[in-house]
């Protein structure tokens, strides 16, 4: 697997000579329409749309390689199944860092060497330009996003919630809440809302007492929770009045605000920031095309392209400098970015190492808790 990736990277870099205006190498003929394609898998909805407009279309225009986009809800299960069966039909997948590290250790993802990463628009070296811990052995960092909670003031009478503790306060804010059906973020939210300093969250989650404390806090609102699984669900739950507040990915709420004119308000207190990565599935027969896509996605301009359609911060410093206004509405993006200092007054950076080590165990316990 590693040798195959190295050979493909070398071929890719050798193929990065200047190209004619039609996207072909000098002296070659233009590719037939739809002659080559890759399958990219991501989280659907407004985020997938931002990726298509932000850099998928430019990749196809530049290379002639068509991008087939499929949706999923995250995790490694489908990747493992394809690799183990020797029937890989996904090529590039959008994953969180913890899953990337686990999948890399299991050998179901291709290694990505630093030579694949392009310099910044002004010659910035990738080592200096990418934000810390955004790249791993098998993953190329593309963005930073946050899990927050939001509310709809039209369906939430009385005082407005302002802190993470308010999300768990059924006396002051009675009504249904939306939460993602997985342990990630929920366990951290529970401990932070229970008064645990953010510096001690993962230390406590590593103890039986800390885990019990987190689940006790979740118990306090369990009967009022509506569980969501796809990123498009929280804005819909809020708009329909099925919940008075919901955890969500910040970009999904932003798009509902600016594109659908929803009155939603994000509570940034206690936001959990994480890094999004792209990976290549081990054994794909379309390895060269997948790696070309990865190199294109790793450009600052591609990351900024996404950030002009949804409020996720580029993983490169030079990319952040390229984001200004929302491409369709002209809204200033900076106030909506999770990396804006105003939104980071009380935030937690997700510990991917902890989740890589404990995810299976936490999923089992969370599923058992849900079933009670």
Report whether pLDDT(114) > 70: yes
Question: φ and ψ at 134, to 5 degrees?
Answer: -90, -20
List, in order, residues 6 or more apart from 40 with CB less than 8 Å away. 56, 67, 68, 69, 70, 91, 92, 93, 94, 293
Report whether pLDDT(127) > 60: yes
Domain ranges of the chain: 2-16+35-143+275-320, 145-274+338-371
Question: φ and ψ at 103, to 5 degrees?
Answer: -65, -35
| 2-16+35-143+275-320 shares its CATH topology with 145-274+338-371 | yes
Report whether pLDDT(23) > 80: no
Report whether pLDDT(13) > 90: no
Residue with tokens 């898998």: 41
Measure Cα distances from 134 to 70, 102, 261, 352 in Å.
24, 15, 33, 11
Query: For residues 76 and 99, what is the distance between their CA atoms, to the nearest angstrom?
Result: 7
pLDDT band at 27 (very low <50, low <70, confident <90, very high): very low
Q: What per-residue confidence (pLDDT) applies to 158?
A: 84
- Its pTM surpasses 0.85: yes
Q: What per-residue confidence (pLDDT) applies to 32?
A: 44
Query: For residues 301 and 315, what is the distance between their CA atoms, to the nearest angstrom?
Result: 11
Query: For residues 299 and 305, what is the distance between their CA atoms, to the nearest angstrom?
Result: 10
Reference 39, options 98, 94, 96; nearest CA is 94
Q: What per-residue confidence (pLDDT) applies to 157?
A: 80
Q: What per-residue confidence (pLDDT) applies to 35?
A: 66
pLDDT in tens, 54-96: 999 999 999 999 999 999 989 999 999 999 999 999 999 999 9
* Strands (DSSP E) found in the chain: 36-42, 65-71, 92-96, 140-151, 177-180, 225-228, 245-249, 265-280, 313-314, 347-349
pLDDT in tens, 253-270: 999 999 999 999 999 999
Query: For residues 152 and 165, what is the distance between their CA atoms, to the nearest angstrom?
Result: 17
Fold of 145-274+338-371: D-Maltodextrin-Binding Protein; domain 2 (3.40.190)
If you classify domain 2-16+35-143+275-320 with CATH, what class do you get? alpha beta
pLDDT in tens, 218-237: 999 999 999 999 999 999 99
Q: What percent of the chain has pLDDT over 70?
A: 91
Report whether pLDDT(196) > 90: yes
Cα angle value 104/108/114 (rounded, 5°): 45
């Amino acid at each position: 697997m590693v040798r195959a990736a190295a050979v493909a990277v070398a071929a890719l870099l050798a193929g990065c000579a200047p190209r004619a205006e039609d996207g072909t190498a000098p002296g070659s003929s233009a590719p037939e329409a739809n002659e080559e394609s890759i399958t990219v898998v991501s989280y659907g909805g407004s985020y997938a749309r931002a990726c298509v407009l932000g850099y998928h279309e430019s990749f196809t225009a530049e290379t002639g390689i068509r991008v087939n986009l499929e949706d999923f809800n995250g995790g490694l299960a489908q990747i493992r199944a394809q690799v183990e069966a020797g029937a890989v039909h996904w090529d590039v997948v959008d994953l969180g860092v913890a899953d990337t590290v686990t999948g890399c250790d299991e050998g179901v993802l291709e290694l990505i060497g630093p030579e694949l990463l392009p310099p910044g628009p002004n010659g910035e070296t990738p080592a200096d330009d990418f934000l810390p811990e955004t790249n791993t052995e098998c993953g190329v960092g593309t963005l930073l996003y946050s899990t927050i909670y939001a509310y709809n003031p039209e369906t939430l009478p009385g005082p407005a919630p302002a802190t993470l503790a308010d999300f768990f306060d059924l006396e002051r804010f009675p009504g249904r809440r939306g939460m993602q059906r997985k342990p990630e973020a929920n366990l951290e939210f529970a401990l932070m809302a229970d008064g645990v300093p953010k510096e001690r969250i993962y230390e406590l989650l590593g103890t039986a007492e800390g885990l019990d404390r987190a689940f006790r806090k979740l118990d306090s609102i369990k009967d009022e929770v509506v569980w969501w699984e796809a990123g498009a669900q929280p804005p819909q739950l809020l708009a329909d009045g099925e919940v008075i507040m919901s955890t969500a990915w910040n970009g999904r709420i932003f798009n509902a605000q600016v594109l659908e004119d929803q009155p939603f308000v994000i509570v940034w207190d206690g936001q959990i920031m994480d890094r999004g990565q792209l990976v290549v599935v081990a054994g794909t027969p379309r390895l060269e095309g997948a790696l070309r896509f990865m190199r294109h996605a790793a450009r600052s301009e591609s990351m900024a392209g996404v950030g002009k359609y949804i409020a996720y911060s580029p993983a490169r410093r030079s990319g952040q400098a390229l984001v200004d206004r929302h491409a369709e509405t002209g809204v200033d993006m900076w106030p909506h970015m999770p990396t804006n200092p105003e939104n980071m007054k009380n935030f937690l950076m997700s510990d991917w190492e902890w989740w890589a080590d404990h995810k299976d165990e936490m999923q089992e316990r969370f599923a058992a808790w849900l079933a009670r």
